[in-house]
Structure 1
Amino acid sequence: MVSTEPKPTSEPEPSWSNTGLPTLVSQVPQRPGITHLLLFTSIFVPLVFLPYVPIRRHLWQQTRQLEVLKSHLGNQLSVTKENSKKLAAAIQENQQLRQEIRSLHPELQKLGAALEELKKENKDKEVRDLNQTQWNQEILGAIERMQKDTRPLTPETFKQLSEALVHLAAFVEAEERRYGLHSGLEDESNGVGVMRALAMRLLSVSGIEYTPEEVKKASNYA
């Protein structure tokens, strides 16, 4: 009879590699699709990431430029803030000066009015000085004419000279009242008082007696 027992399968014989170690070549399954995929990936992936190198370098340069611009912008903002503070302080100071000028405006107006009044007073003084000079010249001329006159002085001459002094005193007093220089007090030390006193002396020399009130009254009628 033929035996039906299964024959024992023969075990795979180990193969020897170059290193001298056995390898089970027959145990590694052969899959050509995976091999092609690995080969394609090992070639294609570096090609895909190859343009990333210059892009990354460009991005790094751009980042540095942005940092520089950010720093420059920060400095400009600091300068702008400082200039804004200075401008605000200048505007506030300008407003204060404007208010001070406005507060000084009434004082300036008063000062201008005082200057105009002073100009007017100086002009009036010049007119008075001119009139005084003319009066002095007239009196000196009259004295010189009297000194040159060889004729004997008569009481009528003293009377005429006294009347002339009375008229001159009245004119001077009227001008003083006109310009507000007359004090209103009887003072024989001023020009009007001296002229009236001299007129009284001349009248006494001429033999005509007048009181100071009569001389003043005569000057008022002059």
Structure 2
Amino acid sequence: MVRQGHAVLALDLDPQAGNLTAVLHQRGYRGHTLLSVLLGEATLEEIIVETKQDGLDLLPASIQLLSQESRLQRIPGYHGLLRRLLPQLSGYAYVVIDCPPSLGDLTSLALTAADVYAIPCQAEQLAFDGLHDMVRAAGVVRDNLNERLALAGIFFTAYHPNQRGTLNHGTVEATRRIYGDEALLPHIRKDMAVPMSQAMQQSVCTYEPGSRAAQDYESLTHAILKAL
């Protein structure tokens, strides 16, 4: 999105801060988070940071999210707090929220604020089982909290497209049968450029723009933007 000239805010809601905050900001971040703002402990201006990439800002995550989540639950109507905060982020063309790999209040908070959601999934049985849970949970949010929420699609990461007849390929085909071709977004092929770019704290599109993964993420971005 940034490479297309859009101003983007990456909002990290993963308490482990294992990828997004570590790559775009710093490893082992322990500072304020989105919930610090929702709980009145900080302002957006205090915690949004610029990244090395022009046009891309980050609202970081930290382990504090785990303790803050239980406090957030005491606020009436807390599921809608992020949605009500979004008008204060009007300087961005897009806000992209990275959710934790679990179904809980942080994910619900994000889905209640979102227009569309995309589900990354590994082509493995356990991840495939979790995919069904995610779609069902999003349906509950859509029916009760956010009627405009729509599925942009599902995409597989670290995918081996040539491994036909394997569990990897069978999982993708099962997803196609259940959700339809229209629900499948471009996949991200397995590529060593991804972990290498993370080690250098860069996006793969910046670190190695000619790599398979960078090309795949470009295709994925175009597909998601079409869904908006």
- Give TM class, smaller chain: under 0.3
* Larger-Rg structure: 1
Higher RCO (CA-CA < 8 Å; seq separation 6+): 2
- Relative to the length of structure 2, the TM-score reads 0.18
